[in-house]
């Protein structure tokens, strides 16, 4: 039986509370703001515009360039040469071969064939024997002879200084042409070898896999005066840190700004 006041109204037990809540039943005590959207909540952030995205990417590229410059201030072409013809031949030999191996072969090669005319007259079998350790020696020998024959016939035995004239030569593609132009003549060019292509994708600079497309996208992002040295520094970094199979991301100075696209995580920072 419920207890009632003298006036007939039911008694309500007092509850603990502050101020005006004392004596009120629990159902009448304010339970806080039940509105799912708080009055103090901030409005959703606006999406980044294309202009903003471009600015962010440019800033990140600038940081990448600065870090690479700090890491490899003296980066240069690893192939040993004294003349443009020697560099052209060495670059043809470097296909599917290490620069170290090429540098072991070229001193004797340059002594035997000192210029384009000598290479143009080379006996294929003799040249093949001299360059055999670089791999694919028959194809490389044929390309070197054909290339130098064209240098003699069309360019007076000299290596041309434009990519339009270099690319049609036997054994010469854009990569070889950019190596020669950038290092023998100081004409800026981005060399997309396996290292430059791999690192560019990992760093989020491109999603392309075809070297020519990678080169085009990098040319749009890297200042032209830095094209050649950028290539050297990327190659150095690819050889020393960003290995194809086991990149050392944990000790990489670029890790904080690198999205590490395509890098397999193995339970460790990559």
127 occurs within a structural domain: yes
20 CB-contact burial (10 Å; exposed 0-12 / middle 13-18 / buried 19+): exposed
- Clarify whether residues 249 and 205 are in a common domain: yes
CATH number, domain containing residue 212: 1.10.1670.10
- Clarify whether residues 201 and 157 are in a common domain: no
16 occurs within a structural domain: no
55 occurs within a structural domain: no
What confidence tens digit (pLDDT) does each residue in 145-157 have?
Answer: 999 999 999 999 9
Residue 89's domain comprises 78-187
Contacts of 236 (CB under 8 A, 6+ apart): 71, 72, 75
- Whether residue 223 is predicted with pLDDT greater than 90 in this model: the reply is yes
- Clarify whether residues 179 and 214 are in a common domain: no
235 occurs within a structural domain: yes
Catalytic residues: 175, 193
Look over the chain and give the mean of its residue pLDDT values, rounded to a whole number: 87
CA distance 213 to 190: 12
Boundary-marking domain end, from 168, 187, 206:
187
Please give the tally of structural domains in the chain.
2
24 CB-contact burial (10 Å; exposed 0-12 / middle 13-18 / buried 19+): middle
CA distance 27 to 220: 67
Whole-number percent of the chain with pLDDT over 90: 75
CATH number, domain containing residue 95: 1.10.340.30
Ranges of beta strands (E only) in 147-214 are none
pTM score, whole prediction = 0.78
Looking at residue 159, what DSSP letter applies?
-
Boundary-marking domain end, from 154, 187, 220:
187
Give the CA-trace dihedral at 141, 190, 208, 260, to 10 degrees.
Answer: 110
What confidence tens digit (pLDDT) does each residue in 12-66 have?
Answer: 444 444 455 555 555 555 555 444 444 444 556 677 787 888 888 899 999 999 9
pLDDT tier for residue 268 given thresholds of 50, 70 and 90 = very low
223 occurs within a structural domain: yes
Reported as half-sphere exposure (CB side, CA atoms, 13 A), residue 270 has a value of 17
Boundary-marking domain end, from 119, 154, 187:
187
- Which pair of tokens denotes residue 89? 């031949």
- Decide which of 44 and 240 is more confident: 240
């Amino acid at each position: 039986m419920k207890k009632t006041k003298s006036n007939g109204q039911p008694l309500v037990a007092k509850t603990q509370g502050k101020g005006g809540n004392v004596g009120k039943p629990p159902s009448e005590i304010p339970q806080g703001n039940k509105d799912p959207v708080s009055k103090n909540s901030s409005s959703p952030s606006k999406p980044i515009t294309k202009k903003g995205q471009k600015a962010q990417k440019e800033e990140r590229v600038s940081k990448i360039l600065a870090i690479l410059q700090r890491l490899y201030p003296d980066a240069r072409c690893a192939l040993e040469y004294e003349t443009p013809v020697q560099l052209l031949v060495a670059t043809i030999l470097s296909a599917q071969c290490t620069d170290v191996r090429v540098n072991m072969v070229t001193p004797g090669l340059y002594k035997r064939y000192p210029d384009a005319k000598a290479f143009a007259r080379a006996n294929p079998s003799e040249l093949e024997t001299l360059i055999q350790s670089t791999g694919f020696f028959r194809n490389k020998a044929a390309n070197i002879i054909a290339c130098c024959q064209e240098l003699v016939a069309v360019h007076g035995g000299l290596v041309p200084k434009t990519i339009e004239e270099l690319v049609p030569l036997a054994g010469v593609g854009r990569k070889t042409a950019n190596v020669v132009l950038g290092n023998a003549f100081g004409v800026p060019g981005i060399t997309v070898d396996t290292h430059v292509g791999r690192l560019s994708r990992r760093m989020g600079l491109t999603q392309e896999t075809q070297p020519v497309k990678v080169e085009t996208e990098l040319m749009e992002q890297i200042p032209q005066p830095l094209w050649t040295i950028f290539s050297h520094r990327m190659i150095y970094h690819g050889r020393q840190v960003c290995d194809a199979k086991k990149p050392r991301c944990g000790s990489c100075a670029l890790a904080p700004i690198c999205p590490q696209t395509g890098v397999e995580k193995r339970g460790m920072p990559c």
